[in-house]
């Protein structure tokens, strides 16, 4: 049996500064002063949004640093902001350390390097770095710098809709393209399974806030399930609080921002995924076009309701509240084993590498 391939990753996180070990960055992240990174440090709402974003991206770093795969040996990971990316060129040659190196981008964060990105990646590629982008949604269609990034990609993980044709034409023939949008940015099994949660529905809001559609849903559920609805609608639950909401049995995930756009009709948010990873029963709103998260729906791993259909919503919530502990554990096991960012990226890297000689 051949030895596992040795993989070193570096995650580009715009909240980081220089190149550093991922655990060191994560250790200092809670105390990071964000006041100098926002346009108005006197605005508490802006600072709160910055903290939510910083911690969320920090969890991506944590998930990438904790990756495992049967055929790969993941070495201690790096993280870097824009100031430290050139320091990747100062590391000892990969040939001397017997490792393969991957630079990981996520979301639309490469845009923060627009103008310099193409030249930077050309240097890194010549020095043995491979490049992966987990775009989460429609990066090829809306991220202006995609044309700079595309020629250097070894792996592109994109949403379920077709790539922009101009961007697709710029990808190398060897680039592995995977159509898969958001999953959970959690380390698998980081949260213990709750054997006896409260028989309540947690309405999981987002940046959209309390829209008319969401208000109708909350009012309908409060009437149908009196005393059993807990709503959070101002913004996403913070990373620090996520492990506390699994005391509730059901997580209701309404449609996210921009998801009424036709090109995003098959795309989904991460909320059903981290809810499932916490052992909650995800109830997810379908798109207008239908069939969003179809495989998970058919497998009974999410419960889906039709967009804007209150009766469909009520039926899905009834089914979710009636689920047994074994059914919930099946959801918990599946999402932790298959539906986290680290698992998806590790499998993509493994699939991209040819067998060791």
CATH code: domain 5-183+340-352 is 3.40.50
Residues of the chain with pLDDT under 50: 356-357
Residue 94 CB-half CA count within 13 A: 19
Q: Count CB-CB contacts under 10 A for residue 312.
A: 15
CB proximity list for 238: less than 8 A, separation 6 or greater? 51, 52, 55
Which among 295, 294, 277 has a CA at the least distance from the CA of 286? 294
Q: Residues with Cβ < 8 Å from 56, sequence gap 6 or more?
A: 185, 236, 239
Decide yes or no: CATH 3.40.50.2000 for domain 198-338: yes
- How far, in Å, are 140, 141, 281, 350 from residue 171 at the CA level? 11, 14, 38, 20
Alpha helices in 160-309 (DSSP H): 165-170, 212-224, 239-242, 271-277, 294-298
Strand, helix or coil at 51?
A: helix
Counting DSSP H helices and E strands in the chain, the numbers are 14, 13
Q: What is the pLDDT of residue 144?
A: 95
Strand order in the sheet with 281-285: 229-232, 198-204, 248-253, 281-285, 303-305
What pLDDT shows up at residue 161? 87
**pLDDT attached to residue 209:** 64
Other residues' Cβ atoms within 10 Å of the Cβ of residue 158: 25
Angle at 182 between CA 180 and CA 184, to 5 degrees: 120
Q: CA-to-CA distance for 300 and 67, rounded, in angstroms?
A: 27
Encoded tokens for 305? 């309701």
Contact in structure between 52 and 58 (CB atoms under 8 Å): no
For residue 283, the cross-strand partners are 252, 303
Q: Where in the chain is the domain with CATH 3.40.50.2000?
A: 198-338
12 strand-pairing partners: 80
Closest alpha carbon to 189 in 276, 102, 99: 276
Nearest partner of 322 among 232, 225, 244, judged by Cα: 225
DSSP string across 194-207: -SS-EEEEEEE--T
Task: Indicate the helix (H) or strand (E) that contains 65.
Answer: helix 44-65
DSSP letter at 236 equals: P
Hey, which residues does 74 pair with through a beta bridge? 7
pTM beyond 0.85: yes
User: 132: which residues sit within 8 A by CB, 6+ positions away?
Assistant: 102, 103, 104, 105, 153, 154, 155, 156, 157, 345, 348, 349
Cα–Cα dist 74/9, whole Å = 8
Task: Give dist(CA 60, CA 206) in Å, integer.
Answer: 19
Contact 72, 5 (CB under 8 A): yes
């Amino acid at each position: 049996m051949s030895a596992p391939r040795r993989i070193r990753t570096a995650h580009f996180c715009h909240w980081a500064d220089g190149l550093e070990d991922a655990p060191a960055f994560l250790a200092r992240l809670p105390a990071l002063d964000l006041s100098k990174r926002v346009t108005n440090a006197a605005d508490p709402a802006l600072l709160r949004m910055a903290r939510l974003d910083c911690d969320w991206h920090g969890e991506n770093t944590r998930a990438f640093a904790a990756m495992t795969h049967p055929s790969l040996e993941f070495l201690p990971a790096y993280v870097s902001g824009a100031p430290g990316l050139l320091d990747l060129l100062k590391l000892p040659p990969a040939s001397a350390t017997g490792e393969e190196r991957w630079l990981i981008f996520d979301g639309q964060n490469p845009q923060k390097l627009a103008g310099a990105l193409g030249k930077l990646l050309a240097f890194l590629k010549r020095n043995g770095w491979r490049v992966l982008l987990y775009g989460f949604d429609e990066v090829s269609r809306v991220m202006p710098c995609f044309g700079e990034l595309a020629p250097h990609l070894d792996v592109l993980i994109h949403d379920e809709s077709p790539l922009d044709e101009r961007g697709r034409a710029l990808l190398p023939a060897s680039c592995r393209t995977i159509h898969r949008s958001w999953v959970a940015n959690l380390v698998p099994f980081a949260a213990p399974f709750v054997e006896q949660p409260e028989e309540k529905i947690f309405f999981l809001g987002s940046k959209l806030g309390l829209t008319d559609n969401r208000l109708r849903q909350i009012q309908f559920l409060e009437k149908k399930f009196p005393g059993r609805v807990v709503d959070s609608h101002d913004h996403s639950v913070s990373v620090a609080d996520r492990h506390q909401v699994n005391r509730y049995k059901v997580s209701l995930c309404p449609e996210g921002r921009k998801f009424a756009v036709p090109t995003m009709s098959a795309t989904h948010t991460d909320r059903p995924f981290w809810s499932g990873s916490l052992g909650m029963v995800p109830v997810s709103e379908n798109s207008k076009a239908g069939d969003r998260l179809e495989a998970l729906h058919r497998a009974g791993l999410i419960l889906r309701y039709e967009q804007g259909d209150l009766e469909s919503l009520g039926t899905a919530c009834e089914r979710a509240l009636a689920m047994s502990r074994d059914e919930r554990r099946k959801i918990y096991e599946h999402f932790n084993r298959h539906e986290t960012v680290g698992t998806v990226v590790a499998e993509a890297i493994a699939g991209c590498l040819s067998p060791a000689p």
